């Protein structure tokens, strides 16, 4: 476009709640570099949790009230009042308060009316309950992003710049469009080099963006916008750097930002819950050879972490130590396993039936250990496995990973295991493929933090 670089940038909810800083650090930081950017914005922090459910704790929100046909309208009106309060906090940044309040009040009133109509249809029993509930979930999700995107464009307009609210929610558009088509159609008459664009992180489409991606929908929108607009770079703004370790666990003075890595490493991080970007959102960018840059929104002078397709660290090194302490080791022990071709396929068929994916897999002649998230280790899964195999056990553990684009070096496994042994940590299981991008150690759950510190001290120098 116009021979200039186009950047598509995602701003998360926590950062959006500090929007005056975002204006100074990102949007208007460089007067000569204001245009040629499309911002895909999330709802303000906590808003989507109230609309759907808390992303981490699972605490139910308005969606469950609707599902159970309880008093969701009252809860939505309380949310409206909270959004009015949020709006007041942005007046000093340039928000037109009456316009902003009118906008979100109108959307919430319409949403209540639509949900009431859905209630009546649900009560009739003539339509699929699952499909209608999914539609309600999408409707609710869209409100948070519409609110933040509208406000952002309004503030920048009132700062004297041309800005466009790109509403991908399809709120006033009943056409049956796919997600890709809606994005293309919405941007068809917009020149991002003459207007600062703020697009909703939610996109309405016939396939339903939440059907497959659920709460990862804003990153999927971000990815699709970048690919469909042929962006030169896709930037993710977070409230922290992508570091060599967790500063809260390893220590702020011990960790350092990772400057370069590749998509393979990003996938390894996502597999244990440390998402630089949702893996299903990163794949289209990887295929299109669009680099991703992960930046700390509150450290604008730092270039961030550049994720590219072909980067390999010039010197063998562990880039990141991370992991999860909310995982279970599901052990399948069966003496009939040895030498039987396709034995583990029977386990995988049960996993697929219960929609469970494993993080790590370790095997020997008659035992297979599978590391899965605690939330996936449900009694029905364990019961069905117990019916089919000799001995099933489920043990809460932690997984600690040493990850890098180039960690192939003689003695690195010995150095890693030695550092754990030196701190009195017994390795319950260990896994690494010949690609050598991720060494995975299974340890007792209460040793999760000390194991990270030990590995980081030994490997991330």
Backbone angles phi, psi at 154, to 5 degrees: -60, -45
Look at residues 22, 11, 202, 12 and name the one whose alpha carbon lies nearest to residue 94: 22
Beta partners for residue 262, in sequence order = 308
* CA 10/CA 222 separation, integer angstroms: 6
- Look at residue 33 in the predicted model and tell me its pLDDT: 87
pLDDT value of residue 1: 46
Query: What is d(CA 81, CA 291) in angstroms, rounded to the nearest whole number?
Result: 40
Q: What is the pLDDT of residue 56?
A: 77
302: Cβ contacts below 8 Å, ≥ 6 apart:
241, 257, 295, 296
* Local structure of residue 366 (DSSP, 8 states): S
pTM: 0.89
Distance separating alpha carbons of residues 416 and 397, to the nearest angstrom: 19
What's the rounded Cα separation, in Å, for the pair 236 and 12?
8
Helix (H) / strand (E) element for 138: namely: helix 129-158
CA proximity to 250, closest of 312, 318, 331: 318
**Token pair 């819950």 in the structure block, residue:** 273
pLDDT tens digits, the chain, 461 residues: what are they? 455 799 999 999 999 999 999 999 999 998 888 999 999 999 999 999 999 998 878 889 999 998 888 889 999 999 999 999 999 999 999 999 999 999 999 999 999 999 999 888 877 766 678 888 888 999 999 999 999 999 999 999 999 999 999 999 998 888 899 999 999 999 999 999 999 999 999 999 998 888 878 888 999 999 999 999 999 999 999 998 999 999 999 999 999 999 999 999 999 998 888 777 788 888 999 999 999 999 999 999 999 999 999 999 998 899 999 999 999 999 999 999 998 999 999 999 999 999 999 999 999 999 999 999 999 999 999 999 999 999 999 999 999 999 999 999 899 999 999 999 999 999 999 999 998 899 999 999 999 999 999 999 999 97
268 and 403 in contact (C-beta within 8 Å)?
A: yes
Q: What is the pLDDT of residue 461?
A: 77
pLDDT given at position 126: 65
User: Which pLDDT score is estimated for 3?
Assistant: 53
Q: Tell me the C-alpha distance between 38 and 22, whole Å.
A: 14
- Alpha carbons 195 and 35: distance in angstroms, whole number: 6
Contact (CB, 8 A) for 371 and 360: yes
Complete domains list, the chain, with CATH: 7-239 (3.40.1160.10), 320-459 (3.30.2130.10)
Give the other-Cβ count within 10 Å of 36's Cβ.
19
Question: Distance between CA 90 and CA 437 in Å, rounded?
Answer: 44
Q: For residue 50, give Cα distances in angstroms to 63, 133, 223, 316.
A: 9, 17, 25, 45
């Amino acid at each position: 476009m116009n021979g200039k670089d186009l950047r598509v940038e995602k701003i998360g909810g926590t950062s959006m709640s500090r929007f005056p800083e975002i204006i100074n650090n990102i949007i208007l930081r460089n007067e000569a570099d204001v245009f040629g950017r499309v911002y895909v914005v999330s709802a303000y922090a906590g808003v989507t949790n109230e609309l759907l459910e808390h992303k981490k704790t699972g605490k139910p929100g308005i969606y469950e009230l609707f599902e159970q046909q309880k008093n969701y309208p009252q809860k939505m009106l309380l949310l409206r009042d909270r959004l009015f309060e949020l709006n007041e906090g942005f007046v000093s940044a340039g928000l037109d308060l009456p316009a902003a309040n009118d906008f979100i009040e109108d959307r919430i009133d319409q949403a209540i009316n639509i949900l009431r109509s859905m209630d009546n249809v649900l009560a009739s029993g003539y339509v699929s309950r699952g499909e209608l509930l999914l539609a309600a979930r999408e409707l609710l999700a869209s409100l948070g992003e519409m609110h933040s995107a509208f406000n952002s464009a309004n503030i920048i307009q009132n700062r004297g710049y041309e800005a466009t609210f790109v509403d991908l929610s399809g709120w006033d558009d009943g056409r049956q469009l796919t997600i890709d088509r809606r994005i293309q159609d919405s941007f068809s008459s917009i020149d991002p080099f003459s207007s600062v664009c703020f697009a909703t992180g939610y996109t309405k489409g016939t396939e339903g963006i939440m059907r497959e991606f659920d709460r990862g929908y804003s990153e999927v929108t971000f990815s699709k916008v970048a690919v469909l607009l042929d962006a030169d770079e896709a930037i993710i703004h977070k409230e922290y750097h992508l570091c060599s370790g967790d500063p809260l666990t390893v220590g702020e003075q011990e960790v350092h930002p990772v400057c370069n890595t590749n998509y393979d490493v990003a996938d390894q991080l996502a597999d244990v819950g440390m998402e630089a970007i949702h893996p299903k959102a990163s794949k289209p960018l990887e295929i299109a050879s669009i680099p991703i840059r992960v930046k700390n929104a509150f450290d604008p002078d730092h270039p961030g972490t550049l994720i590219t397709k072909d980067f390999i660290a010039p010197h063998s090194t562990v880039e990141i130590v991370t992991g999860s302490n909310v995982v279970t080791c599901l052990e399948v022990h069966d003496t009939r396993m040895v030498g039987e071709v396709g034995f583990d396929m029977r386990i995988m068929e049960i996993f697929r039936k219960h929609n469970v994916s494993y993080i790590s897999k370790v095997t020997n002649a008659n035992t297979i250990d599978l590391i899965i998230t605690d939330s996936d280790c449900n009694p029905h899964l364990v019961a069905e496995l117990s019916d089919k195999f000799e001995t099933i056990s489920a043990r809460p553990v932690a997984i600690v990973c040493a990850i890098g684009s180039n960690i192939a070096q003689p003695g690195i496994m010995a150095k890693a295991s030695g550092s754990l042994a030196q701190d009195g940590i017994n390795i319950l299981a260990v896994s690494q493929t010949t690609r050598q991008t991720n060494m995975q150690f299974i340890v007792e759950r209460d040793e999760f933090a000390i194991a990270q510190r030990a590995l980081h001290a030994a490997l991330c120098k």
